Structure 1
Amino acid sequence: MMAIFMFTALTVVHVRNDLSSAIDYKHKKIEFMLSYQSDQLERSLRSRFRALLSDYYLREAMASKDRERIRLYFNEKYGALVAEYHTEIIIHIHDENGSSFMRMHAPGHLNYSGYPRPMLEEVADKKEPRFGFDLGCYGLHYRYAEPVYYMGVFVGIAEVGIGVDYLLSLMKNTLDLEMGLFIPADKAENLCFEPRAESLDGERLINVSNDDFVTIFNKADFSKGVLTEINEDGKFYRVHMDHFLKGYNGQKIASLVTFQDITNEKMAITHYLRLAVIMAVIFICLTILMMKNSFMRIISDLEKKYKESKSRENYLGDIIANSLNEIFIYDIDTLRFVEVNRGACKNLGYSHEEILQMTTLDIKPQMTFQSFRKQILPVIEGEKETVMFETVHRRKDGTLYPVEIHIQKTFVEGREVIMAVVLDITQRKDAENRLKALNEALEKKVDQETERRLFSEKIMMEQKKFIDMGQMINAVAHQWRQPLNALGLYVQDMRETHFSQGLDDSYVNQIEKDCMHIINHMSDTIDDFRRFFAPDKSSAPFEIIRSVLETIRLVSAQLMASSIDYRIICRCGDDSYFSENSVESPGCLSRKTLVRGYEGEFKQVMLNIIHNARDAIIERRQSEAEGFQGFIEFDLDACGDNIVLSIKDNGGGIPENVIQKVFDPYFTTKEEGKGTGIGLYMSKNIVEQHMKGYLTAESKDGCAVFRLVLRSAAVKDDG
């Protein structure tokens, strides 16, 4: 009985769905046709009208506001437009402000009145075409308005309008539907003609295609939605009012109302209902007669499915039995084998009967009962569905091979057992061992290369120290040459004074004072030289400004001899210091210029950069005119958590193709024998590895700038 009622209900639902689908399809087709025909109309009007407006004669007439010439021009064209569209055509000319200038809706039929419309005002303002439906006094038209230019000057607006009847007739012929236009009350009050239907709220129905439409529409109730059904004289109609005609700005102007005769569909539903009742009665009778056969058929199907299930089990059993992987089934308590497959017998070398007399521990020499039980306990207690572990199996001939075992619990003939699927992983283990050996060899090779590199860097450091020592000895020689000359002059002057006028106490005291000043200066040079090469036992805080001044003092004589000025700028937040060609220590030494590291190594970095700057300036002076004055600027900024030391020289900067390589080992741009190419490389290692800072190079406005960024030791000490 339930099946009969379901069949009846499905039949009715099917018919209703077919009806709804047909109506929905036509509904979508209306929407598509409305959009498609509107687009086609806009493109057609635009193409035709632009062709008319391209005429120089017309644009000149509009510029001169000559109505007669405009009338004569459009009299020739109007007939062709009407013949093409088979409906009323309105041509409207407006001045540059959007105000009506003249209007033509038949050959020779002119008037000069009009009313302002927002669409025209927007065309006049934007100087761009606008198109869309527009509701005027005499009905709804589709209008296209185009700005007109004469000699590059905007002279007015030309507008063409076509009655909406044209669009509705195209849709009616295509869709075979009756239709009309519904005008809302706020827009209907501007109509100058009597509508076909009018509601109590002021809405109006115009452009209807059938007189019956008016009667049906007046009875329609749209209070519950845009779709309603009407019963008129035994006929059924479905009325839609959810398609809209929009103006130039997308505003809804009117609604397209359609109605469809669905009497045949309603009759079809009634017919199918009657047919379904008759079929239900027939099915009740047949069901009683076929009950016995149905029960017999069900029993037969169940027997067939049972046989198929057993056949499938046998099929799967054959696959498992013939698998080359080892598959074991053993008792969950005694671990004695219950069943094994052919792959297990072949891999172990035992016969099937021999294996069934053994336990799983007999082939696992590395496991005891307790250790194996511990491995499979999560499966036995239901904590996991499966476990996996690795061990070794022993064959009958005593050979061992590695295996990966997957354990799970299952049932065989109602008995709880353990099933183990075993994979021989000999090849995988061999590959892992080879990979391990390769990794060990690679690690050993890396360690050897690292040790060799560190040894090479140590040799490079020692070589660099010897080079720096030679440069420093040369600098000391420059520093001492002038004081020694001064001492020689003092000795000669003392001898001449002694023979000429004798030596008095004041003269001797002055000579002694001057000589001691010179000797102390030479002693300071020796101290600077000694401190420069004194080995640093450990990293310690030091005043970076003091180290900069001591390094410059060692080479100041060489710089002055090479006509190179040097400037020192120091800012620490509390005070600032500036000196030019002077290495006197500022009286404002502050803990804010403290950095941590090896002071001797830092001085080496300074010396490398200074010597490179000096060589670059000398090379530039040789290539330019005499009188070029070189300079090296040391700018120290200790205002933040980091101390930034910028060393700038005007030696010509660093070429773009070189600047990425200046810190590479053994890279030099100097002639062979004049540079080793390890100075800047070692400098970068000292700053970044030993002092945990940064050393960068850049070229700007013909100057090379090396910038050292170091962490202020005062920040940590103060904290």
Structure 2
Amino acid sequence: MTHLNQQLLIAYECVSAIGISLQLEEMMAHFLKVFSRKTGALAAIYWKAEGKESYKNGCFYGKKAFVPLFPHPSLKMKDGTILDVPHNKKHLLHVKIAEDWIVFLFDAPKEEIELVKAIITSFNAKLENAIRACKNHLELITINQTLEKRVEEEVHKNREKDKHILHQSRLAQMGEMISMIAHQWRQPLGSISTIAASIRLKIALNRLEWNTEEERTRSTLFLEDSMERIESYVKFLTHTIDDFRNFFKPNKQKESVTLPQLISKTLEIIGKALEINGITLNVQTYENEPVFTYTNEVTQVILNILKNAEDVLKERKIEEPHIDIRIQKEEEWETILIEDNAGGISPEILEHIFEPYFSTKSEKNGSGLGLYMSKIIIEEHCKGEILVKNGTMGAQFIIKLHGASHPDESR
């Protein structure tokens, strides 16, 4: 009876040592230590399966001098095998735990080791479950680390893709910009040419006379007026170049700006092109709260929407074409609504309008990137919203930006 109680006590102590940690080596090292001390084992080793016929020394308990006495596990070995140590009176007890092995070194008769086998059998299932739990935990950690790495890689790929798409979008818009510059410059360049021709004609006809005080005054006033007009046109051309250069210069920091200022800045770029194409602009605004945003990028979005409206109005040959721009406040949003009178967008196209490379202008070499980048700029960069729906006259684009005092303005 005393012997049985001792076995039960040893089993209880060993069971308590199982599962103290989800770190496999830490848990097994503690178990080997407790079990060896309670059963009188001189040393113990845990062999972890690494593959078919491949085992790794997971942990060892005992004096290092005993290490050479432990042979490498073999597939021929059976669970519970007791082997004599060559040239020694000691014995090895091999215990199979799932696909792993635990081997104990004893300096005791085989009869006593058989009792130890019985003790191990009593909690074998619990030890096996604890080892598998540790392995599953390690596998889960590895999967999570791998998943995090894969997610990081995919995020990086998406960022690179967006950079590439943005670059393509900018290249596509540069072609449109050149056309707008031509519209902006045609009238002032023509005026400069007319003034220069007028001066040259007067010189050729000897109409610039300096003989009397009256003639000198008249000629001087003509030349001064001509030079002032030329200087005015040159300033306009220089200002236009600055507008286009700044448009392509990426914002490094957010700025405080009102929506009417953004609209005005955009119309300085595209206004002349719309005027030449006979498109009327109706702008309704109010004294609204400033927004804290990337000015050039939002200007790019407004410009892209207006250019798309111009294209569809010309393509459909709309009589009395016009574009309405309304600035208003909706709860926490400062909102720009842009609507043309071209009749709207078909429902099957409307749901794909912000997808990359989706374009209805293939015959015009439309890139399908403008509205995709507009969505990226407004929603990811500026933390706003951009929507599209069919209004009463045509397509209506809605740009929503947080006011400068809104909590999201610093993001």
Q: TM-score, normalised to structure 2's length? A: 0.66
1:642 correspondence with 2:333? yes
Aligned to 2:258: 543
Give the Cα–Cα distance (whole angstroms) in 2 for the partners of residues 639 and 701 of structure 1.
20
Aligned with 1:519 (options 234, 248, 251): 234
Task: Tell me the SS of whatever aligns to 2:362.
Answer: coil
CA deviation profile, 1:119-164 (whole Å, cap 9, x unmatched): xxxxxxxxxxxxxxxxxxxxxxxxxxxxxxxxxxxxxxxxxxxxxx
- 2:339, 2:393 within 8 Å by CA — same for their partners in 1? no
Q: 1:356 to 1:522 in 2, by over 3 A?
A: closer
Task: Tell me the SS of whatever aligns to 1:458.
Answer: helix
Task: Tell me the SS of whatever aligns to 1:633.
Answer: strand
Is the helix fraction higher in 1 or 2? 2
1:470 correspondence with 2:149? no
CA-CA distance at 1:695 after TM superposition: 0.4
Q: 1:481 to 1:335 in 2, by over 3 A?
A: closer
Aligned to 2:294: 598
Q: 1:692 to 1:360 in 2, by over 3 A?
A: farther
Task: Tell me the SS of whatever aligns to 1:396.
Answer: strand
- 1:336, 1:359 within 8 Å by CA — same for their partners in 2? no
Aligned to 2:275: 560
CA deviation profile, 1:52-79 (whole Å, cap 9, x unmatched): xxxxxxxxxxxxxxxxxxxxxxxxxxxx
Give the Cα–Cα distance (whole angstroms) in 1 for the partners of residues 10 and 330 of structure 2.
80
Aligned to 1:329: 8
Please tell me the residue identity of whatever aligns with 1:536.
N
Fraction of identical pairs, as percent: 26
Q: 1:710 to 1:497 in 2, by over 3 A?
A: same
Please tell me the residue identity of whatever aligns with 1:636.
I
1:613 correspondence with 2:318? no
- 1:695, 1:706 within 8 Å by CA — same for their partners in 2? yes
Aligned to 2:93: 396
Q: Write out aligned runs for 1:333-352 (5 A).
A: none
CA-CA distance at 1:441 after TM superposition: 3.7
Give the Cα–Cα distance (whole angstroms) in 1 for the partners of residues 240 and 286 of structure 2.
27
Task: Tell me the SS of whatever aligns to 1:568.
Answer: strand
Please tell me the residue identity of whatever aligns with 1:330.
L
Task: Tell me the SS of whatever aligns to 1:696.
Answer: strand
Q: 1:679 to 1:555 in 2, by over 3 A?
A: same
1:570 correspondence with 2:290? no
Aligned with 1:444 (options 146, 149, 152): 149
Give the Cα–Cα distance (whole angstroms) in 2 for the partners of residues 431 and 363 of structure 1.
24
Give the Cα–Cα distance (whole angstroms) in 2 for the partners of residues 493 and 356 of structure 1.
114
Q: 1:336 to 1:459 in 2, by over 3 A?
A: closer
- 1:545, 1:593 within 8 Å by CA — same for their partners in 2? no
Aligned with 2:361 (options 642, 659, 670): 670
- 2:354, 2:372 within 8 Å by CA — same for their partners in 1? yes
CA-CA distance at 1:361 after TM superposition: 12
Give the Cα–Cα distance (whole angstroms) in 2 for the partners of residues 676 and 606 of structure 1.
17
Task: Tell me the SS of whatever aligns to 1:452.
Answer: helix
CA-CA distance at 1:510 after TM superposition: 2.0
Aligned with 1:501 (options 197, 207, 216): 207
Give the Cα–Cα distance (whole angstroms) in 1 for the partners of residues 369 and 94 of structure 2.
67
Aligned to 2:128: 424
CA-CA distance at 1:495 after TM superposition: 2.6
Q: Output the aligned Cα RMSD.
A: 3.7
Aligned to 1:711: 402
Gaps of 5+ in 2: 16-34, 47-58, 62-91, 103-121, 210-218
Task: Tell me the SS of whatever aligns to 1:705.
Answer: strand
Is the strand fraction higher in 1 or 2? 1
Aligned to 1:55: none
CA deviation profile, 1:599-618 (whole Å, cap 9, x unmatched): 12111111211111111111
Q: 1:445 to 1:356 in 2, by over 3 A?
A: closer
Q: 1:336 to 1:694 in 2, by over 3 A?
A: closer
How many residues are matched?
A: 310
Larger CA Rg, structure 1 vs 2: 1
Give the Cα–Cα distance (whole angstroms) in 2 for the partners of residues 500 and 610 of structure 1.
50
Aligned to 1:358: 39
Give the Cα–Cα distance (whole angstroms) in 1 for the partners of residues 173 and 327 of structure 2.
24
Q: Write out aligned runs for 1:136-535 (5 A).
A: 329-330=8-9, 358=39, 396-397=93-94, 422-425=126-129, 426-427=131-132, 429-430=134-135, 433-498=138-203, 499=205, 501-502=207-208, 504-535=219-250
Q: 1:717 to 1:669 in 2, by over 3 A?
A: closer
Aligned with 1:694 (options 385, 398, 405): 385
Gaps of 5+ in 1: 1-320, 322-327, 338-353, 369-394, 404-418, 573-591
Give the Cα–Cα distance (whole angstroms) in 2 for the partners of residues 336 and 664 of structure 1.
63
Of the structure 1 ranges 541-550 and 607-616, higher mean CA displacement relative to structure 2 is found in 541-550
- 1:620, 1:652 within 8 Å by CA — same for their partners in 2? no
Q: 1:435 to 1:518 in 2, by over 3 A?
A: same
Q: 1:355 to 1:658 in 2, by over 3 A?
A: same
